[in-house]
């Protein structure tokens, strides 16, 4: 009989050599270059690449799981020494060296980078020195939190790529014929349908994985994913709260990621354009407090979420209960704020929302939010689209006055991400606020960890007080797993889940 577990399922393991098929409602940007896609691409890129600095299954930095075994900084945090492990190789047989690590870091701030922390890398990395094949010296403006920024805790940015191979075939070609140093190598891809990875013979950390192949299938429709699980065509799939009881009753195990890997927030676009309703802080506040976040978490997310009153999750090193915004559901005050802002009869707004694995259908979420807004006179036109299409329009600033539902990433250090989203020169910039820029820069440019934490708390609170981002909920993700698959601890690594417990056979 299937059992509900929180974090771990204990059942017999499957024999080596089979294919593990995973169903997901999105596959990021489907570009296999770590700096070319959204953070959600870590879902599958973690199989093919190793991070510069690793994390254990509980989300803690460690020298055991990444390509950098040891790291140390000068007392002022301006010089970092990174020791690359010996014995790790790329899928073409070439050894991983300090040259590859330096190349990877340099790309993060390059013109072709789509990293949300691109400006940070351009500004804060002054130079790098390859001291020997396995030692890299990084000279910075003072970056005490560099290890976090080189870990999976902030996404796939610092997955290490091969310098020689990429320079040989070119960056564009690499996106469709990539190699990494992870336990699985890229085999093939059908864009819009699936990505297939094949196990390597002897990975430095994992040995030989117990599955010969792992296939990620793009199945956008929740009902279709459930049907494929029931017929055994999917081994694992992200599911939403509506599916839990039905699939558990069909003989599938359910595991829930209690790390709250992502949250839902609203991002009002082009806040600097004075003629737009969202340019006014009172309007942005009204849009937030007109939504019953407690009810949204319970009714729409079926209890697999809790209300968000902060733009950062409890896993952020600068999180403090005191930075949470106290404002609650108050439609009467929302209507008053709209009137004071010059919109007594409300206004029309375009509302974009993209699918997310394990979340309810985006239209279901959007319609619930639009219903709250309708009660205060705001009439929403709902647009559901893949995140890649939505993100491209945001980057090109083609969504003036619209509001988008977007992920709040559960990261260890959120300040660079928030700068990318709300900073005047961010990769995806929804606002131009000099004070916000100054406060976030103070946190990012701090030369000690404690100074960074103190400055970040001020920045987070200001950002919330100005309603530059409207946090709604932190969401758990549930996964349905065929009982034959085996024990799976989904872990607590941000941007997870951790697939390694599923495919690890031991050395």
Whole-angstrom Cα distance, residue 332 to residue 341?
14
DSSP 231-244: TTS-SEEEE-GGGH
The confidence score (pLDDT) of residue 204 equals 97
CA within 13 Å, CB half, 309 = 12
CA within 13 Å, CB half, 454 = 6
Q: Enumerate the β-bridge partners of residue 252.
A: 482
Phi, psi of 63 (to 5 degrees): -90, 5
Choose among 7, 38, 3: nearest CA to 477: 7
Whole-angstrom Cα distance, residue 341 to residue 372?
19
Whole-angstrom Cα distance, residue 126 to residue 483?
51
β-pairing, 252-268 vs 236-239, is unpaired
CA within 13 Å, CB half, 80 = 29
Q: How confident is the model at residue 322 (pLDDT cuts 50, 70, 90)?
A: confident
The confidence score (pLDDT) of residue 305 equals 85
Phi, psi of 122 (to 5 degrees): -65, -40
- The residues, ordered by sequence, that sit 6+ positions from 13 with a Cβ below 8 Å of its Cβ are 210, 485, 486, 487
Tokens of 467: 């309603």
Highest mean pLDDT of the ranges 43-47, 94-98, 360-364, 470-474 = 94-98
The confidence score (pLDDT) of residue 357 equals 65
> What three-state secondary structure class fits 82?
strand
pLDDT at 506 over 60: no
pLDDT at 500 over 50: yes
The confidence score (pLDDT) of residue 17 equals 53
Whole-angstrom Cα distance, residue 356 to residue 260?
13
Exposure string (b/e) for 267-279, b if CB count within 10 Å is 16 or more?
bbbbbeeeebbbb
Domains present along the chain, CATH in parentheses:
259-476 (3.10.105.10)
pLDDT at 143 over 80: yes
pLDDT at 259 over 70: no
149 or 359, greater pLDDT = 149
The confidence score (pLDDT) of residue 327 equals 85
CB distance 400 to 269 below 8 Å: yes
Q: For 387-420, what is the HEC assignment?
A: HHHHHHHHHCCCCCCCEEEEEEECCCCCHHHHHH
CB distance 50 to 67 below 8 Å: yes
pLDDT at 14 over 50: no
Whole-angstrom Cα distance, residue 209 to residue 384?
37
DSSP 164-220: HHHHHH-HHHHTTS---SSSEEEEEEETTTEEEEEE-S-BTTTBS-SEEEEEEEE--
Whole-angstrom Cα distance, residue 44 to residue 32?
9
> At what angle are helices 331-340 and 281-289 packed, to 10 degrees?
160
pLDDT per residue as tens digits for the range 175-231:
989 999 999 999 999 988 999 999 999 999 999 999 999 999 999 888 899 999 999
pLDDT at 19 over 90: yes
Choose among 40, 15, 130: nearest CA to 82: 130
The enclosing H or E element of 286 equals helix 281-289
pLDDT per residue as tens digits for the range 81-126:
999 999 999 999 999 999 999 999 999 989 888 777 788 888 889 9
Hunting for tokens 């296999």 — which residue is that? 32
The confidence score (pLDDT) of residue 28 equals 63
CB distance 103 to 84 below 8 Å: no
Choose among 5, 7, 9: nearest CA to 484: 9
Tokens of 292: 């019953």
Average pLDDT value for the chain:
88
> What three-state secondary structure class fits 58?
coil
- The residues, ordered by sequence, that sit 6+ positions from 396 with a Cβ below 8 Å of its Cβ are none
Tokens of 130: 């390859």
Which of 253-257, 333-337, 355-359, 473-477 has the least mean pLDDT?
Answer: 355-359
Average pLDDT rounded to a whole number, residues 223-240: 92
- The residues, ordered by sequence, that sit 6+ positions from 155 with a Cβ below 8 Å of its Cβ are 39, 42, 116, 409, 411, 495
Give the end-to-end CA distance of the chain in Å, rounded to a whole number.
31
The confidence score (pLDDT) of residue 2 equals 35
Q: What is the pTM of this model?
A: 0.77
The confidence score (pLDDT) of residue 507 equals 45
Whole-angstrom Cα distance, residue 126 to residue 177?
31
Tokens of 414: 């959120």
């Amino acid at each position: 009989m299937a059992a509900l577990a929180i974090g771990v399922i204990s059942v017999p393991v499957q024999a080596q050599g089979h294919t593990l098929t995973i169903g997901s409602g999105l596959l990021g940007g489907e570009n296999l270059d770590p700096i070319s896609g959204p953070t959600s691409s870590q879902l599958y890129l973690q199989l093919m690449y190793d991070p510069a600095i690793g994390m254990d299954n509980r989300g803690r930095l460690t020298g055991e799981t990444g390509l950098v075994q040891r790291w140390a900084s000068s007392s002022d945090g301006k010089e970092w020494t990174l020791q690359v492990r010996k014995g790790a190789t790329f899928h073409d047989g070439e050894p991983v060296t300090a040259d590859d690590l330096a190349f990877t870091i340099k790309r993060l701030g390059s013109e072709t980078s789509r990293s949300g922390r691109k400006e940070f890398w351009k500004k804060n990395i002054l130079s790098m020195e390859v001291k020997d094949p396995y030692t890299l010296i990084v000279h910075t403006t003072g970056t005490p939190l560099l290890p976090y920024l080189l870990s999976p805790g902030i996404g796939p940015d610092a997955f290490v790529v091969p310098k020689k191979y990429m320079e040989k075939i070119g960056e564009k070609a690499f996106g469709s014929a990539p190699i990494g140093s992870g336990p699985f190598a890229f085999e093939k891809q059908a864009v819009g349908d699936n990505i297939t990875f094949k196990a390597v013979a002897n990975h430095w950390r994992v040995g030989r994985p117990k599955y010969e192949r792992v296939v990620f299938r793009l199945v956008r429709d929740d009902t279709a994913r459930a049907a494929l699980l029931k017929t055994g065509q999917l081994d694992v799939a992200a599911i939403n709260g509506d599916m839990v009881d039905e699939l558990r009753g069909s003989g599938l195990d359910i595991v829930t990621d209690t790390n709250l890997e992502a949250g839902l927030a609203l991002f009002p676009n082009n806040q600097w354009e004075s003629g737009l309703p969202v340019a006014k802080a009172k309007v942005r506040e009204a849009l937030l407090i007109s939504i019953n976040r407690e009810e949204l978490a319970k009714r729409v997310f079926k209890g697999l979420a809790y209300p968000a009153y902060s733009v950062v999750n409890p896993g952020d090193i600068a999180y403090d209960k005191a930075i949470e915004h106290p404002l609650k559901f108050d439609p009467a005050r929302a209507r008053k704020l709209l009137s004071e802002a010059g919109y007594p009869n409300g206004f029309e707004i375009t509302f974009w929302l993209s699918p997310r694995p394990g979340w309810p259908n985006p239209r279901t979420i959007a319609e619930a939010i639009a219903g709250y807004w309708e009660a205060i006179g705001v009439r929403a036109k709902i647009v559901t689209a893949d995140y890649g299409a939505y993100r491209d329009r945001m980057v090109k600033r083609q969504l003036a006055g619209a509001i988008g539902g977007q992920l709040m990433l559960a990261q260890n250090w959120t300040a660079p991400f928030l700068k990318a989203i709300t900073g005047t020169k961010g990769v995806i910039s929804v606002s131009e606020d000099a004070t916000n820029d100054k406060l976030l820069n103070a946190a990012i440019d701090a030369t000690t960890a404690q100074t960074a934490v103190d400055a970040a708390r001020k920045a987070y609170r200001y950002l919330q007080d100005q309603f530059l981002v409207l946090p709604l909920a932190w969401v758990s993700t549930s996964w349905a797993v065929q009982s034959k698959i085996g024990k799976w601890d989904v872990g607590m690594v941000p941007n997870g889940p951790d697939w390694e417990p599923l495919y690890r056979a031991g050395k």
